[in-house]
Amino acid sequence: MATPPLIDRRRLLLGLAPAAAAVLTGVTSCTRDTRNPSAHSPTFFSAAEWAFVNAAVARLIPAEGAGPGGIDAGVPEFIDRQMELPYGHGAYFYLKGPFLNDVPATLGYQLRYTPREIYRMGILAANAAVQKTHGKQFADLSATDQDLFAQMMERNEVQFSPVPAPVFFAQLLANTKEGYFADPLYGGNRGMTAWKWIGFPGARADFTDWLDQAGRAYPYGPVAISGARS
């Protein structure tokens, strides 16, 4: 099993640094922040996969009701970009075999797959299952049917192989919430709308003036790592 040794991955991270810096600058410019979030051209996801991710994010954190939706917050872009980072390639996980079956769930993740592979296989399995029952792709279902199918994935009521539906669903939901709440430098949480919605001041990281005012609502809005305010 070829996991990159420590030193190679560090070089990889260093190699990515200029790109990340460029993105950081991009996020702070008004033109980028106000454009249509779905205009992101995916690097990792194919067109069909991209349609799935957008449709799924739109159900996990919908636009309807109060509070920002996942699409407006740029969550699909966040997930696509994560797939291109060492994280997407599984660099944070021990992925050497042998891979055991019948391990108690309490001993944690025991599959061989990276996040990229989980998405690739999970989306394929989801669309195949929906095709079978509804004769269309997940993205083309009504919102109600999408919710029902997402629930089936979460509850293991639909059979996926080789990545079980709840594993895929958990991956998708975790990355969706990360994209909603992470600093905007990663492409999600656009305009810090998710932070404003809950009242988290982001990277402010200085509460000297509030140490002895416990119980009084903190009055200042969020700042991002880039220095952007909202």
Partner 1 sequence: MAERKRPVDAVIIGYGWTGAIMAKTLTDAGLSVVALERGPARDTSPDFEYPRIADELKYGVRGDLWQPLADETVTIRHGIQDTAAPYRKYGSFILGNGVGGAGTHWNGQLWRASPEDLRLRTHIEQRYGKKFIPADMTIQDYPVSFEELEPHFDHFEKVCGVSGIAGNLRGQIRPGGNPFEGSRSDEFPTPPLPPIHVARLFEKATAELGYKSFPVPSANSSIAYTNPYGVRLGPCNLCGFCERFGCFLYSKASPQTTILPILADRQNLEVRTNAYVTKILLDRTRKVATGVTYIDESGVEVEQPATLVILSAFQMHNVRLLLLSGIGRPYDPATGEGLVGKNYAYQMCSVTGAFFSEDVEINPFIGAGSAGQRVIDEFNSDHFDHAQSGFIGGSLIYAGGTGGRPIEQMMLPPDAPHWGSGWKLAIRKHYRHSAPIGSLGSVMSYRDRYLSLDPTYKDAHGLPLLRITFDWHDNEYRMVAHSAAKMDEIVRVMKPEKQVTLVMRSGNHYDTRVYQTTHTTGGAIIGSNPTNSVINRYSQSWEVPNLFIYGASSFPQNIGYNPTGLLAALAYFSAAKIRDTYLKSPGALVPV
- Chain residues in the site for partner 1 (CB under 8 A): 3-7, 9-10, 59-62, 64-67, 87, 90-96, 98, 100, 103-110, 147, 150, 154, 173, 176-178, 181-183, 185-186, 194-195, 197-208, 210-212, 214-218, 225, 227
Residue among 83 and 150 whose Cβ is closer to partner 1: 150
Contact 42, 80 (CB under 8 A): yes
Residue among 31 and 212 whose Cβ is closer to partner 1: 212
Query: Closest approach of Cβ 189 to partner 1, in Å?
Result: 10
Neighbouring C-beta atoms of residue 82, cutoff 10 Å? 22
Q: Which two tokens stand for residue 53?
A: 């991710």
Ramachandran angles phi, psi of 223, nearest 5°: -125, 155
Residues whose CB is less than 8 angstroms from the CB of residue 87 and which lie 6 or more positions away in sequence, other chains included:
115
Residue among 47 and 64 whose Cβ is closer to partner 1: 64
Residue among 40 and 196 whose Cβ is closer to partner 1: 196
Query: Closest approach of Cβ 135 to partner 1, in Å?
Result: 25
Q: Which two tokens stand for residue 197?
A: 């919605």
Query: Closest approach of Cβ 141 to partner 1, in Å?
Result: 15
Query: Closest approach of Cβ 85 to partner 1, in Å?
Result: 9
Residues whose CB is less than 8 angstroms from the CB of residue 174 and which lie 6 or more positions away in sequence, other chains included:
none
Cα distance between residue 189 and residue 209, in whole Å: 27
Residue among 55 and 194 whose Cβ is closer to partner 1: 194
Contact 220, 206 (CB under 8 A): no
Helix axes 143-154, 115-134, angle to 10 degrees: 120
Query: Closest approach of Cβ 178 to partner 1, in Å?
Result: 6
Residues whose CB is less than 8 angstroms from the CB of residue 140 and which lie 6 or more positions away in sequence, other chains included:
none
Residue among 85 and 121 whose Cβ is closer to partner 1: 85
Query: Closest approach of Cβ 108 to partner 1, in Å?
Result: 5
